[in-house]
Amino acid sequence: MKENIKHRIHQLRENLHAHNHQYYILDSPIVSDQKFDQLLKELADLEAAHPEFFDANSPTQRVGGGITKNFETKSHRYPMYSLDNTYSKEELSDWVTKIRKIIGEGTLMTYTCELKYDGASISLTYEKGQFVQGITRGDGQQGDEITQNLKTLPTIPLQLQGNPPDYFEIRGEIVLPWEAFKRLNQERESKGEPPYMNPRNTASGSLKLQDSHEVAKRGLHCFLYALAGDALPIHTQFEALEKARKWGFKVPDSAKHAHHIEEVFAYLDHWEKQRSKLPYEIDGVVIKVNELPLQKVLGHTAKSPRWAIAYKFQAEQIETVLESVSYQVGRTGAITPVANLRPVLISGTTVKRASLHNADQIAKLDLRLGDVVRVEKGGEIIPKIVSVSESQRGLESDTVVFIEYCPDCNAPLERSEGEAQHYCTNSMTCPTQLVGKIQHFISRKAMDIEGIGSETVVQLYEANLLHTIVDLYQLDPAAVLRLERMAEKSVQNLFQGIEASKTQPFPKVLFALGIRFVGETVAKTLTQYFKSIENLKNATLEDLIEVDEIGERIAQSLYQFLQNEKHWNQILELKRLGLQFEIETRSEPLHDELAGLKFVVSGVFEKFERSEIKTLIESRGGKIVSSVSKNTDYIVAGAGMGPSKKEKAESLNIPIISEDQLVILIETTS
């Protein structure tokens, strides 16, 4: 009986995988939706009754339902490089000239042209034909694992067809089609919620939703375009696309194998005109050297492959009327002017606002209310005004003059020498700054407080329960419970998260304070050097600048913050409440085998994660620095180390060692 059930489950899975492929990859379904749903329900019922036959890649896993509270950061085995951009055929011809100088004028070279999808880049890993992991691009060296969410996308095969390699990665783009984007915004507007800005950012945000069931409902698509692996059975990029299609991946048939640059130009001209007819957003074309051996010869710069380039289409521009200018306050007090426009349709979305950046931009455009302005939507979340129609100007009396006082608290604005933006001087009581600072403080990269989100911060602030980060640790549970949508369990989770945050280490606390220019890396550097908040406060400007990678701008901002009596009193109160403001001292003596040595860690490693290597070095007294200089003692290099770092290290005679050699170095010195 068990064997019969197991066989039926296996049969259903195979059939459903095949039907998914026919429907989502080939666009040619061979069964009705009703029949598919019946088969899926039968499988779900059998799996529920027989959990011993669970399969992580079963078609039933696509419906989602798993909750991911924290997305683990993982290294890419093969780095995901960004692309250099070009905006004209002349620049594209220059690129061809440069690479021909490297490979030789007489070498046969062709091109693959592919549409540049405007979405979120991801890397998928397959082992023995099974989908095992999906990671966001991140910084190209490491990203967030979002496997559970990606399994909900029917255009990502969970089980491959044919005879794929035992192990490989495939890169692709997650896009949100226009139709699904419009549907999402209609749903949001019906609930009184603000619409999403554009498909690209909505797609990216959808991938990081904690509830995979919600991801499944978004209507995301995945287009695949590049294979990565060792000794793969392919010789050209175009062949890689064809193989991927045969293995079951959604590879658009819009790609073209161009034998000479004139064919590339013809491809660009075609899609420049036709892109508006596509059901999803593209912002250009990617041109690659087709022959993989030539790609290896050309190699990479520190950030980009030399064998590929992105040709960006001219951003769509359209005229409309400037109706008013409003001003937004950021959490650091930065004031950003925003143009409010007569609504106009650009690239499929209705545009009502455009960024004006700062006072200089307003003066440069000589803006007046009522001006007819030309608006461009060129890869920015908020479009921008590029010019004013000289023949259709507003009245001179309606010239836009940058404000002198904060629109939220009426405090005077100030603009420091050499800076583009004005800032509100009231950092302690300006409402928008206060809410923004608290939202930053609770965020994942800062104090990572579970049970409270940005909307809850606003709710607590409006209820007069929360005005500063200190108030977080003095909230009254009974008062919070009285608020709307605050059930007993959610309040309990909120207070557990706040209490747990007291164990966050000093570097995270310093970053969470939201000091201008003090990011995660700077906070870690400062806390490792000064050890305690008291030492930081007592440091002079000269002391701060002497620290590696701490420039005058960072030092000045930090010094002014800590010398401000109100800020310092807030820090003392947070310390009294139990937050960590010093580096923990260990009861056992520190290892000091690498004391005084400075290391740059670069590339992807086989035996350790990069973070583990850095921890190993620091636990032995060594210091991690981000850039190569004459003061660097060693480079610990893995696969994909940037050639510029390598060249600089060699020019300065700095030893480049592997992860194994690092271990030997520690053992030898001890």
Which residues are catalytically annotated? 116
Report phi then psi at 130, rounded to 5: -110, 140
583 SS3 class: coil
Task: Give CA–CA dist 489/470, Å, rounded.
Answer: 23
Instruction: Identify the three-state secondary structure at position 579.
Output: coil
- The Cα–Cα gap between 566 and 426 comes to 12
* Residues written for the chain: 670
Provide DSSP, 497-557.
HHHHGGGS-HHHHHHHTT-TT--HHHHHHHHHHH-BHHHHHH--HHHHHTSTT--HHHHHH
Secondary structure string (H, E, C) spanning 70-108:
CCCEEECCCCCCCCCEECCHHHHHHHHHHHHHHHCCCCC
Q: How far apart are CA 625 and CA 647, in angstroms?
A: 17
What is the bridge-based pairing of β-strands 623-624 and 656-657? unpaired
* Structural tokens at position 200: 């690209």
Q: How far apart are CA 104 and CA 87, in angstroms?
A: 26
> What is each CA distance from 207 to 133, 193, 471, in whole angstroms?
14, 20, 33
What string of DSSP letters covers 316-376?
A: PEEEEEEEEEEEEE-TT-EEEEEEEEEEEEETTEEEEEEE--SHHHHHHHT-BTT-EEEEE
